[in-house]
């Protein structure tokens, strides 16, 4: 795709030759004329700063200037209140798989192998956060590991306790699982919790078994598919069912993954680029493959099929609502992480990094949390990026892995993000024009 820019307006030319523009501040998408296109400054996915070049005065540029100066009164900005409403809990820090790209210490332990979290210590922690939460706000608990279903009893005890102490509170549960332990008993437990179930699966067996082998090197895919089918047989009892794939230099088969995923009646798919991979070639291949995946989805089922892909759903929703995002996530604001030693962090991937710890038990380091209170867009100096309000400043862990600092942007992460936003804009305009 070709890109051009005038201040807060990004213009795109699709492969079919359609010219459209995105007013990044006003969250508006519109078609533009050839005159406007040729008079705008060329830009790239790596460039976040508008050109300072003086543009030739003409009617098209005058219209762009007027549009750029307009303020859309309908635009809303998503603000994150400083109330901890989202807790992720490592109920265990062991795993029965050995994924090649594992960001949890390479083996699910984060370098600190713990079979079971102390429920006796965890329940008071949960009560501490529930007691601080204003009435009327929902509470959201995600279970992570390791593999959380290695300690399914822990999930059950936590859910039972919350129901007892906060029966009036809306509580949403999520589990991120490798899918190998979705027995009838565990599926029944998750159904009773009406959980959102995210199952990690990187493609068909010839790919997934290589990327996500068991500890003894045998196939994991058959077990995962069997568990997924058990969940789908009771799909109406769950809040949401998603397949999540991770892709890196050793597996960029996104098209094969999409074709494999499509046979399962899940609610959504997520195609994540591995945070541990900084290979520029992989970034280019990822963008190429996502272009093909989007085309396949749109050809298969138009907007409905396209929006089963998580990134498109998020961007379409923001554009429809004209809602700006200031924070990629709520780390340290509305979200905290409890590891299997009941230590508290702002991010699941910071576990066992002592300098990142912000609490223990029911004690919070409020001074350490102060550093997270400004919007991520502001902390990461994203004010000139045209994709800022559809990105929210990006993943701080990905930035830290790529640049060495949570608040210094990783250029490859930004390139991939701008690409996905641009691709979503092209399809958004196509879908709305066809409506």
Distance CA 410, CA 406 (A): 9
Return the pLDDT at 280: 96
Indicate whether 8 belongs to any domain: yes
My answer on whether 209 and 187 are in the same domain is: yes
Closest CA to 117 of 135, 134, 92: 92
My answer on whether 146 and 284 are in the same domain is: yes
Return the pLDDT at 409: 96
DSSP letters, 308-322, are TBHHHHHHHHHHHHT
Distance CA 96, CA 125 (A): 27
Kindly give, in sequence order, each residue whose CB lies less than 8 Å from that of residue 294, ignoring residues fewer than 6 positions away.
306, 309, 312, 423, 427
Indicate whether 88 belongs to any domain: yes
My answer on whether 101 and 8 are in the same domain is: no
Return the pLDDT at 82: 86
pLDDT tens digits for range 309-323 = 999 999 999 999 999
- Where among 295, 325, 355 does a domain terminate? 325
My answer on whether 169 and 52 are in the same domain is: no
- Where among 325, 355, 381 does a domain terminate? 325
Gyration radius (Cα) of the chain, Å? 22
Indicate whether 211 belongs to any domain: yes
My answer on whether 107 and 255 are in the same domain is: yes
My answer on whether 250 and 198 are in the same domain is: yes
My answer on whether 108 and 28 are in the same domain is: no
pLDDT tens digits for range 178-196 = 999 999 999 999 999 999 9
My answer on whether 50 and 114 are in the same domain is: no
- Where among 25, 41, 74 does a domain terminate? 74
My answer on whether 9 and 132 are in the same domain is: no
Burial of 205 (0-12, 13-18, 19+ CB in 10 A): middle
Q: Contact 31/20 with Cβ under 8 angstroms?
A: yes
Indicate whether 344 belongs to any domain: no
The tokens for 310 are: 């998580």
My answer on whether 45 and 116 are in the same domain is: no
Indicate whether 406 belongs to any domain: no
Per-residue pLDDT of the chain (435 residues; tens, 9 = 90+): 899 999 999 999 998 899 999 999 999 999 999 999 999 999 999 999 988 776 778 888 899 999 999 999 999 999 888 899 999 999 999 999 999 999 888 889 999 999 999 999 999 999 999 999 999 999 999 999 999 999 999 999 999 999 999 999 999 999 999 999 999 999 999 999 999 999 999 999 999 999 999 988 788 999 999 999 999 999 999 999 999 999 999 999 999 999 999 999 999 999 999 988 999 999 999 999 999 999 999 999 999 999 999 999 999 999 999 999 999 999 999 999 999 999 999 999 999 999 999 999 999 999 999 999 999 999 999 999 999 999 999 999 999 999 999 999 999 999 999 999 999 999 999 999 987
Q: How many domains does the chain have?
A: 2
Return the pLDDT at 91: 98
* Enclosing domain of residue 24: 1-74
pLDDT tens digits for range 240-286 = 999 999 999 999 999 999 999 999 999 999 999 998 899 999 999 99
Report the residue count for the chain.
Answer: 435
My answer on whether 10 and 136 are in the same domain is: no
Distance CA 98, CA 16 (A): 43
Indicate whether 313 belongs to any domain: yes
Indicate whether 153 belongs to any domain: yes
CATH of the domain at 273: 3.20.20.70
Return the pLDDT at 211: 96
My answer on whether 237 and 270 are in the same domain is: yes
Return the pLDDT at 79: 83
pLDDT tens digits for range 114-131 = 999 999 999 999 999 999
Indicate whether 379 belongs to any domain: no
């Amino acid at each position: 795709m070709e890109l051009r820019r005038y201040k807060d307006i990004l213009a795109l030319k699709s492969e079919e030759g359609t010219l459209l523009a995105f007013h990044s501040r006003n969250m508006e998408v519109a078609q533009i004329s050839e005159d406007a296109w040729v008079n705008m400054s060329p830009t790239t996915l790596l460039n976040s700063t508008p050109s300072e070049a003086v543009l030739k005065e003409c009617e098209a540029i005058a219209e762009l200037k007027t549009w750029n100066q307009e303020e859309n009164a309908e635009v809303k900005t998503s603000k994150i209140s400083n109330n901890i409403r989202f807790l992720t809990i490592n109920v265990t820090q062991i795993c029965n798989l050995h994924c090649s790209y594992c960001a949890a210490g390479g083996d699910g332990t984060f370098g600190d192998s713990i079979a079971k979290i102390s429920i006796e210590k965890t329940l008071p922690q949960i009560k501490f956060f529930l007691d601080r939460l204003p009435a009327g706000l929902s509470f959201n608990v995600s279970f992570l590991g390791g593999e959380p279903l290695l300690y399914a009893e822990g999930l059950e005890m936590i859910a039972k306790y919350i129901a007892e102490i906060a029966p009036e509170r809306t509580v949403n549960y999520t589990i991120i699982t490798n899918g190998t332990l979705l027995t009838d008993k565990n599926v029944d437990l998750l159904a009773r919790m009406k959980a959102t179930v995210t199952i990690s699966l990187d493609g068909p067996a010839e790919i997934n078994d290589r990327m996500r082998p068991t500890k003894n090197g045998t196939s994991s895919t058959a077990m995962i598919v069997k568990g997924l089918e058990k969940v789908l047989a009771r799909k109406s009892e769950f809040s949401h069912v998603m397949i999540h794939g991770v892709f890196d230099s050793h597996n960029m088969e996104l098209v094969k993954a999409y074709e494999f995923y499509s046979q399962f009646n899940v609610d959504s798919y997520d195609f994540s680029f591995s945070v541990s991979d900084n290979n520029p070639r992989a970034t280019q291949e990822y963008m190429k493959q996502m272009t093909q995946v989007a085309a396949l989805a749109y050809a298969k089922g138009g907007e409905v099929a396209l929006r089963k892909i998580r990134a498109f759903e998020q961007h379409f929703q923001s554009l429809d609502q004209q809602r700006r995002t200031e924070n990629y996530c709520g780390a340290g604001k509305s979200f905290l992480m409890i590891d299997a030693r009941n230590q508290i962090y702002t991010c699941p991937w910071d576990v066992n990094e002592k300098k990142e710890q912000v609490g223990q038990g029911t004690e919070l380091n409020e001074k350490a949390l102060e550093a997270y209170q400004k919007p991520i867009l502001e902390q990461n100096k994203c004010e000139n990026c045209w994709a800022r309000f559809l990105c929210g400043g990006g993943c701080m862990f990905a930035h830290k892995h790529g640049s060495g600092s949570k608040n210094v942007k990783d250029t490859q992460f930004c390139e991939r993000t701008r690409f996905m936003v641009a691709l979503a804009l092209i399809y958004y305009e196509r879908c709305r024009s066809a409506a």
